Chains A and B, each alone.
Chain A
Amino acid sequence: RKEVEQDPGPFNVPEGATVAFNCTYSNSASQSFFWYRQDCRKEPKLLMSVYSSGNEDGRFTAQLNRASQYISLLIRDSKLSDSATYLCAVIVLFSGGYNKLIFGAGTRLAVHP
């Protein structure tokens, strides 16, 4: 089982729609969570960190559910420019005190007119 799993999609939605993605993680020692955006054939860019209390940045809302071990990303009022792959990333703390950042394979979003 992968440490971080995402539905690959694609999620095809019309402009203006609300869409949500989940990302599940298997290690309960995971301590920090992030969403990255990656445009086609481009590098990933940090979209937002995910705080325990949830956080919002404009049309984007990130939530953490520790009990069920997943994070979510909600995009409201989708724009054509939101079309991209959304990667979740999780920091897992291992015994010995070292941590590792693990990326999911991403969820592809396609927003159409």
Chain B
Amino acid sequence: EADIYQTPRYLVIGTGKKITLECSQTMGHDKMYWYQQDPGMELHLIHYSYGVNSTEKGDLSSESTVSRIRTEHFPLTLESARPSHTSQYLCASRRQGYDGELFFGEGSRLTVL
């Protein structure tokens, strides 16, 4: 089983609120990712990190931001949530050299009213 954890699993929140989705892994992986996935749709990469103090934007434009202060922790923040942010957010990590072998967290399902 993958040792990667996301909280909260489910969040329903009003427009304009600030939210942080937490992601932690205990596998010592340097590389971590945030994906966004709507039902029946592809995974879209929104952020990634190759190590502490390294963060990059992914393919899908996102108003969220991320930080990587510790290897094991990769939180995602939305400063002002909007209904268009309603989606499932999946965190993942991988070992160096295993480019396609991602371990995913269980996801955070966000609903913005």
How distant is the Cα of A33 from the Cα of B45 in the complex, in angstroms?
17
- Of A20-28, A44-52, A61-69, which binds chain B? A44-52
How distant is the Cα of A7 from the Cα of B55 in the complex, in angstroms?
34
How distant is the Cα of A103 from the Cα of B38 in the complex, in angstroms?
13
Contacts of A8 in B (CB 8 A): 40
Contacts of B106 in A (CB 8 A): 42-43
Is B101 engaged at the interface, CB distance under 8 Å to the other chain? yes
Interface size on B, residues (CB 8 A): 18
Q: Which of these, B100, B101, B104, contacts A43 with CB under 8 Å?
A: B104
> For residues 72 through 102 of chain A, which have their beta carbon under 8 Å from a beta carbon of chain B?
87, 89, 91, 99-101
The answer to whether A43 touches B42 (Cβ under 8 A) is no
A44 to chain B, nearest CB (A): 5
The answer to whether A101 touches B42 (Cβ under 8 A) is no
16 further A-B pairs in the complex, CB-CB below 8 A; given A44-B90, A45-B104, A46-B103: A32-B99, A32-B100, A42-B106, A43-B104, A43-B105, A44-B102, A49-B101, A87-B43, A91-B99, A91-B100, A101-B45, A101-B99, A101-B100, A101-B102, A105-B41, A105-B42
What are 14 A-B interface contacts by the 8 Å CB criterion?
A: A32-B99, A33-B100, A42-B106, A43-B104, A44-B90, A44-B102, A49-B100, A49-B101, A87-B43, A89-B100, A99-B99, A101-B100, A103-B42, A105-B40
